[in-house]
Amino acid sequence: MSAGNVLGFPLGMGVAKFDSLQTMAAFSNQYLYTHQGQGTAIYRITWYACLTQAAAGGSPSSWIGGVNGFQVVYTPSEAGPTVTSPANPLATGQYNTVGLTIGSGVVMCAVIPGSNIGFSFGYSSVGTTPAQYAIHVRVEYLDDIGPF
């Protein structure tokens, strides 16, 4: 049995992390981790992103996360080919304001042996000074799928 946090949820074993500061680009299937086990396993991917510099000059606007927001890309045991988790865009109306343009979330996935876990995160910026953001991603191994 795993230890739990104050809410009683199990704590996973951290296996990978990704941090990018002053980012001015989108990520497309950015590699995070390859599942090394012999069987399918459950992973929890947590993420946090925030605008650190608003776009400025001209008609400035920015949209970190883009239309789909943060998505995990992996090969599940149940579905066969590589899949992308459902879209998770940031809330509307918070696109170019430092302190308000913040997003976070949790994605769970069941990954087959040898499969990569990656993520995608959109970005657009208009203005003479481009927007910048920070993004932090953590991957936790929770357990193998199988009999107890």
**Average pLDDT, integer, range 92-108:** 82
pLDDT of 1 higher than 50: no
CA–CA gap between residue 115 and residue 123 (Å, rounded): 26
Q: What is the pLDDT of residue 6?
A: 47
The C-alpha atoms of residue 82 and residue 40 are separated, in whole angstroms, by 14
Report pLDDT for 2: 46
Tell which residue, 91, 43, 39, has the closest CA to residue 63.
91
Domains of the chain, first to last: 13-144 (2.60.120)
The tokens describing 134, both together, are: 């920070």
What are the pLDDT digits (tens) for 31-79?
Answer: 999 999 888 899 999 999 999 999 999 888 888 998 899 999 998 876 6
Q: Which residue would you say has higher pLDDT here, 30 or 7?
A: 30
Q: Which residue from 37, 36, 87 is spatially nearest to 66, judged by alpha carbons?
A: 87
- 72 near 18, Cβ under 8 Å? no
Percent of the chain with pLDDT over 70: 86
Distances (CA, A) of 139 to 117, 120, 134: 9, 14, 17
For 120-146, what is the mean pLDDT? 92
143 CB neighbour count, 10 Å cutoff: 13
Confidence of residue 136 (pLDDT cuts 50, 70, 90): very high
